[in-house]
Amino acid sequence: MRNTAAFNEGRDGDVAGLVREVQGRVGALADLLHGLSDEVIEGTDATGSVVARVSGAGRLLGLTVDPRAMRDLDHVAMSAAIRGAIGAARSEVGERLGKAMADFTGDFTAGSGDEPPRGDPLAPYVRALLREE
């Protein structure tokens, strides 16, 4: 990260070394995101009647509905239970992604999560890139 630090401070540095460092970080980030997308995460609604399975990318892979829920819930409650289970699973995906990104970019300084992490001058750029869609 020597060349990245020089770039971040506005000093002259080895541009080829900087490009190698950035390419290495981009490759590591791609590997991290690919690994997360291969995971299967489950979420359950508040009643425990519906379990949703989503990929690490948030894509719905399947639903399991307790047979009692089919008998006990009307269509409105069933819809809410399904949305709740999918939302819980996707929320877990977001938490895992947040933790993985925190680990990837290094320790955060004290205070809010919006403060830049120490030790990684590229972290603000990576975070800005992830916010864009």
pTM of the full structure? 0.64
**Residues of the chain by 3-state class (helix, strand, coil), percent to 5:** 55, 15, 30
Binned average pLDDT, 10 residues per bin, the chain of 133 residues: 59 70 84 88 95 93 94 94 96 89 64 51 70 59
pLDDT at 117: 47
pLDDT at 64: 96
Domains of the chain in start order, with CATH, are 2-131 (3.30.1310.10)
pLDDT at 105: 76
